[in-house]
C-alpha cells in the first residue's frame, strides 16, 4: 500500500481527483451563465435550471447500474469510457445552437459519462488505501477537489463567460478531460474484470425510473401541483417495486443490482443521509445565490463568480487538511462540526445579504459554507466506504455516489423551484429558498449526531477475517 505522502500515491490520486473536480464543476459552473445562456439560446431561467438538474439526476439514476458495470467491464475501462462520453458532451454543449442540443450534450452525454467514471474513482481509492489516515488523505484530495469544483465553478465559469463566452467554459471542460486521459494511461486495475457476471437490467430500470420521477416531481412543485403528486407517487411506487424485486431476486439465489445487506448497516445509512444533505445544501446554496445575484441584484457573470471565491478558499483549506483532521478528531466530530458551520453560514446569508449591496457581505457566509462542507465531505465518504469489505466496494460506491448526486439534484430542484416561482419578489423568495436549505441541514445534523464514535474504521478484508486477525 503506498504511503499517503509518496510521489507514487500522488500519481495514483491526481487523475481521480481531477475527474471528481470536473464533474462537480459541471454541476455548478452554469449557475453564473444563466442570463447569458438564456439570452443566447432564447430560453428562460427555468430552462437552464432544468438543464442543470437533468445533468445531476441522470448522474444519480445511472450511478448504481454503472457501479455494477465496473465489476463486469473493469474499473479502468469504465473510467476511460466515461471520460470519452463526457468529452463528447462538452463539445456538443459548446456548439449548441438551441436548448435541446445543450440538454443532449450537457445533461445526457456528460451525465452518462459522469455516472460511468465516478464509481471507479472511489472504488480504486478504497482498494489502494487501506488504513484510516492514508484513506482520509486520498478521500480528502478527491472529495476536496469535488468540493472545490462545486465552489469554484461559479468563479471559473464567470471569468470564462465574461472574458470569452459561456461556450468556452465547455471547451475548458473538454481540455481537462484530455488531461485526465493522458494522466490515466499508466493506471492499473487491481481487480480483474468479470465479464460473465450477470447484470440486473430490470432492477436498473426500476431504480432509475423511480429516482427520475421523484426529482422531476420536485421540479414541478408550485407550478403543476397535480402533476407533481402524480410523479412523486409513480416514483415512490417504482422504488418500492425495486426493493421488492431485488429482495425476491436475492432469495432466488440470483445476483441483484444492489444487495439488501447494504441497507442493514445503520452506520452506513446515517452517513448516506449526511452525504445527501451535504451536497443538497452546497448545490442548493450555489444555485440560489447565483440566481439571486443575477436576476435580482443585476450582477454580471464574473461579479457573481467572484462572490463565491470565499467558499472556494474555505473548501480548499478544510478538504486538504483532511489527513491531519483525521489524526486528531473522530470522523463523527468532523461531520457534526461541518453541519454546524454550514447552517451558520446559511443563517448569515439570510441576515446580511438582503440588507446590504456590499459584495463583501457574502464573504463570511460563503466561507463558513465552504469550510464546513469541505470539513465533512471526506469523513462522510470514508464512513460509508469503510463500512463494507472489498468485495462490496462496487455496490456501495455506486449507492454512495447516487445518493450524493440525488442530493445535488434535490438542492437545485427544491431551492431553485422556490426561488424561481416567486423570483419577482426578490428578497422574500431568496429567504424562503435559503430557509428550506437550513431546515434540511438540521436533518443532516441530526443524522450526524447519531453516528457511532468509531465510525470510519476500515472494514476487515476477507483474508483478515479468515486469519482471525480482526473481528468480522
Average pLDDT over residues 128-138: 72
pLDDT at 244 over 50: yes
The rounded percent of the chain whose pLDDT value lies above 70 is 86
pTM of this structure? 0.74
**pLDDT value of position 448:** 92
pLDDT tens per residue across span 147-188: 778 777 888 888 898 889 999 999 999 999 999 999 988 887
Average pLDDT over residues 288-303: 77
pLDDT at 81 over 90: yes
**pLDDT value of position 419:** 65
pLDDT at 423 over 60: no
The segment with the largest mean pLDDT, out of 90-99, 195-204, 260-269, 324-333, is: 90-99
**pLDDT value of position 461:** 42
Q: What is the mean pLDDT of the chain?
A: 81
pLDDT at 89 over 80: yes
Average pLDDT over residues 359-365: 80
**pLDDT value of position 372:** 92
pLDDT higher at 1 or 248: 248
**pLDDT value of position 345:** 93
Average pLDDT over residues 353-359: 64
CATH class of 7-187+195-200+257-455: mainly alpha
Q: Name the residue ranges covered by the structural domains of the chain.
A: 7-187+195-200+257-455, 201-256
Q: In whole angstroms, what is the distance from residue 300 CA to residue 288 CA?
A: 15
pLDDT at 460 over 60: no
Average pLDDT over residues 93-104: 93
pLDDT bin (cut points 50, 70, 90) of residue 424 is very low
**pLDDT value of position 464:** 40
The segment with the largest mean pLDDT, out of 2-11, 46-55, 355-364, 436-445, is: 436-445
**pLDDT value of position 315:** 80
Amino acid at each position: 500500500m503506498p504511503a499517503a505522502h509518496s510521489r507514487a500515491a500522488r500519481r495514483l490520486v491526481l487523475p481521480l481527483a481531477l475527474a471528481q473536480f470536473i464533474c462537480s464543476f459541471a454541476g455548478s459552473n452554469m449557475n453564473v451563465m444563466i442570463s447569458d445562456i438564456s439570452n443566447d439560446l432564447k430560453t428562460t431561467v427555468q430552462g437552464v435550471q432544468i438543464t442543470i438538474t437533468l445533468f445531476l439526476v441522470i448522474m444519480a439514476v445511472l450511478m448504481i447500474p454503472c457501479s455494477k458495470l465496473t465489476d463486469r467491464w473493469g474499473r479502468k475501462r469504465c473510467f476511460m469510457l466515461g471520460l470519452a462520453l463526457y468529452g463528447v458532451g462538452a463539445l456538443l454543449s459548446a456548439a449548441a445552437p438551441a436548448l435541446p442540443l445543450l440538454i443532449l450534450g450537457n445533461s445526457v452525454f456528460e451525465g452518462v459519462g459522469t455516472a460511468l467514471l465516478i464509481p471507479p474513482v472511489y472504488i480504486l481509492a478504497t482498494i489502494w488505501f487501506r488504513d484510516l489516515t492514508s484513506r482520509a488523505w486520498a478521500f480528502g484530495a478527491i472529495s476536496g477537489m469535488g468540493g472545490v469544483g462545486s465552489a469554484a465553478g461559479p468563479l471559473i465559469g464567470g471569468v470564462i463567460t465574461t472574458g470569452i463566452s459561456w461556450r468556452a467554459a465547455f471547451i475548458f471542460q473538454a481540455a481537462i478531460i484530455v488531461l485526465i486521459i493522458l494522466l490515466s494511461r499508466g493506471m492499473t486495475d487491481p481487480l480483474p474484470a468479470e465479464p460473465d457476471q450477470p447484470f440486473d437490467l430490470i432492477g436498473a430500470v426500476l431504480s432509475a425510473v423511480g429516482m427520475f420521477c421523484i426529482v422531476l416531481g420536485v421540479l414541478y412543485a408550485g407550478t403543476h401541483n397535480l402533476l407533481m403528486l402524480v410523479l412523486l407517487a409513480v416514483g415512490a411506487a417504482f422504488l418500492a417495486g425495486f426493493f421488492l424485486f431485488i429482495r425476491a431476486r436475492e432469495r432466488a439465489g440470483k445476483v441483484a443490482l444492489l444487495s439488501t445487506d447494504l441497507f442493514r448497516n445503520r452506520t452506513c445509512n446515517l452517513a448516506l443521509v449526511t452525504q445527501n444533505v451535504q451536497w443538497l445544501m452546497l448545490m442548493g446554496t450555489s444555485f440560489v445565490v447565483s440566481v439571486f445575484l443575477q436576476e435580482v441584484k443585476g450582477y454580471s457573470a464574473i461579479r457573481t463568480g467572484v462572490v463565491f471565491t470565499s467558499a472556494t478558499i474555505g473548501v480548499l483549506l478544510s478538504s486538504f487538511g483532511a489527513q491531519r483532521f483525521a489524526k486528531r478528531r473522530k470522523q463523527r466530530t468532523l461531520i457534526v462540526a461541518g453541519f454546524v458551520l454550514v447552517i451558520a453560514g446559511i443563517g448569515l446569508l439570510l441576515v446580511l445579504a438582503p440588507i446590504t449591496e456590499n459584495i463583501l457581505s457574502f464573504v463570511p457566509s460563503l466561507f463558513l459554507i465552504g469550510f464546513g462542507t469541505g470539513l465533512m465531505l471526506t469523513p462522510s465518504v470514508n464512513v460509508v466506504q469503510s463500512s463494507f469489505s472489498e468485495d462490496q466496494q462496487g455496490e456501495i460506491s455506486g449507492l454512495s455516489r447516487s445518493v450524493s448526486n440525488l442530493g445535488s439534484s434535490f438542492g437545485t430542484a427544491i431551492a431553485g423551484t422556490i426561488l424561481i416561482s416567486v423570483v419577482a419578489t426578490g428578497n422574500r423568495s431568496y429567504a424562503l429558498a435559503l430557509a428550506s436549505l437550513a431546515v434540511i441541514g438540521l436533518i443532516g445534523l441530526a443524522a450526524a449526531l447519531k453516528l457511532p464514535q468509531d465510525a470510519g474504521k476500515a472494514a476487515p478484508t476477507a483474508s483478515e477475517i479468515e486469519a482471525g486477525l480482526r473481528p468480522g
